[in-house]
Amino acid sequence: MLPLQSISIFLLKSVLTCAIMLLWYLVALRSRRMNNANRIYLLLTALAGAVVPLLHFEWHITTPATTAPVIRMMEISGIATVDETIAEHIHTSLALQDVIMLLYAFITISLIILPLLRIVRVLRIQSQHSVTPMNGYSIVHTRMKEAPFSFMNKVFWNDGISMDSEDGQRILQHELVHVHQRHTADKLFMQLLTAICWLNPFMWYIKQELNQIHEFLADEGSVTDPDTFARMLLTAHTKGKHTPVTSHFFSSPIKRRLTMITQNKNTRYGMLRKALMLPVLLVPIALFSCRVSTRITPASVTGNTVTLVLDPAHGGTDKGAVSPDGYTEKELSLRICRKIAALAPEYGVTVKMTRTGDTYPTLNERVLMANEEKDALFISVHINKVQEGKPIQQGYEYIVSSKSPRIQESRKLASAVAATMGSGGRHTELREQGLHVLKQNNHPCIAIEWATVENAADIARIQNNEQLTASCRQLLQGITTYASTMNNRR
């Protein structure tokens, strides 16, 4: 999967996750005086929108097959060709995706830098005015129209408002609620999430709604009756612009603040509304992060062990093919083989690898390692490189050697693996090539060109852990299918 496709899926899941959770907020929480719970729920919703699309839980149900499967033999062919217009379309598409990715990254970085600049401005204001340390907070004395407002543990005060007056004391108490409840941390957290998920409109809504919840919380801690609250709003009235990373007294719709402060705290079914917050979170997790798959294990293989010798091509100083982005065949083939080896025990397959690190066993050493096994299968994993003048292809190529002492079994092994791995709309073929590790091998043996090094989509499938896991499971399923049919013949 291309990076742009991955980001698109991430954003879609992010939007749907936020939508599901905000539906409960709008129906059961928003108009209720449950401000602490609403604050936590909104932060949890924003976090879920960023994290749930990245979660992946998978359960496998293993079902033994009642009969041995039938393998359809692939015909050996030459290298197929692809229409030139298709290859050109691939290049154009990739270039366009790179531009879109760069644009997305540019906007994300800009949305991170802008709040940082505002923070620098606030710190500069602090450095230019006198500061009075208090118990757990500090007061910055200014004549700014934006004041009073708070940032971290600082209260920026407009000295035009008497701090000794009754209203002045209530406004100070209002700002201290922002300080003590660390509302600045909420704002910085939301700035980061909206920068990363800026295409998700619900993130912007959550950010705005959270700012209002902060004001409701501060109102609760500083006023006791609507008349006092109205006088405070008039006293703090300002025409200046507000800094988004700070908490301002006069920054939320007055009508909604008045409505919230006069509402009874004893919300009907309040405990139930709060108790259902977590179950609501489980809904998007179940929809977007959980998967149950059924894996059919051939009956004759169940409980038995198949030995598989895996050969990650190249290694050491031999890099093999190198992609335009710098990925090497030796690294990619080793990554694939390690993933197969990690999953193999689930399929009753014991894996032996010709190399487990960045080393280079000679071709003879690889064959000797395989032939030391009494009864095994051999698969060498490669990454293809397009010959000059040939179009870029996407998909798997399976290779057998006509000089192999077990050519027919090798061909059947390739056919079984190809059947379970499928094509996915990609090019797939079986061809003959006299590779040394195949010619001298005593076991059923094949080589797999897992990807084309020039094809970014192929490389992305290997780099994506979820997709690589899926394709490795398919290969292992093909191995157990082959082993099942061979056991039935004995």
Q: What percent of the chain has pLDDT over 70?
A: 76
Give the whole-angstrom CA distance, residue 40 versus residue 448: 51
Kindly report the CATH number that applies to the domain delimited by 299-489.
Answer: 3.40.630.40
Q: What average pLDDT does the segment 307-335 reach?
A: 92
For 68-97, b where at least 16 C-beta lie within 10 A, e where not — what string? bbebeebebeeeeeeeeeebeebeeebeeb
Q: What average pLDDT does the segment 244-255 reach?
A: 56
CB 359 within 8 A of CB 429: no
pLDDT higher than 60, residue 459:
yes
pLDDT, one tens digit per residue, over 158-190 is: 888 888 887 788 888 888 999 999 999 999 999
pLDDT of residue 422: 75
pLDDT of residue 230: 60
> Which tokens belong to 153?
């543990």
Give pairs for 274-277: CB < 8 Å, separation 24+: 274/34, 274/37, 276/24, 276/28, 277/24, 277/37, 277/40, 277/41, 277/44
Domain residues of the chain, as ranges? 3-59+100-285, 299-489
pLDDT higher than 80, residue 426:
no
> Which tokens belong to 332?
């990619």
pLDDT of residue 16: 95
Q: What average pLDDT does the segment 330-350 reach?
A: 93
- Chain center to CA of 426: 25
Q: What average pLDDT does the segment 256-262 reach?
A: 68
pLDDT higher than 60, residue 404:
yes
> Which tokens belong to 407?
């050519």
pLDDT of residue 391: 58
Closest to 367 measured CA to CA, from 403, 343, 411: 403
> Would you give the DSSP letter of residue 91?
H
Q: What average pLDDT does the segment 340-357 reach?
A: 93
What is the model's pTM?
0.61
Confidence bin at 87 (pLDDT 50/70/90)? very low
Least confident of 23-27, 236-240, 367-371, 434-438: 236-240
pLDDT, one tens digit per residue, over 204-216 is: 999 999 998 998 8
DSSP string, 450-482: EEETT-HHHHHHHHSHHHHHHHHHHHHHHHHHH
Distances (CA, A) of 300 to 416, 481, 484: 16, 9, 5
Q: For residue 180, what are the contacts with CB-CB under 8 A and spacing of at least 6?
A: 136, 137
pLDDT higher than 90, residue 355:
yes
pLDDT higher than 50, residue 80:
no
Q: What average pLDDT does the segment 229-258 reach?
A: 55
Q: For residue 79, what are the contacts with CB-CB under 8 A and spacing of at least 6?
A: 390, 429, 431
pLDDT, one tens digit per residue, over 446-455 is: 999 998 888 8
Strands 445-452 and 377-384: parallel
SS3 content of the chain, % helix, strand, coil (to 5): 55, 15, 30
- Chain center to CA of 314: 31
pLDDT of residue 57: 83
pLDDT higher than 80, residue 460:
yes
Give the whole-angstrom CA distance, residue 205 versus residue 193: 12
Distances (CA, A) of 356 to 3, 168, 331, 451: 28, 71, 11, 20
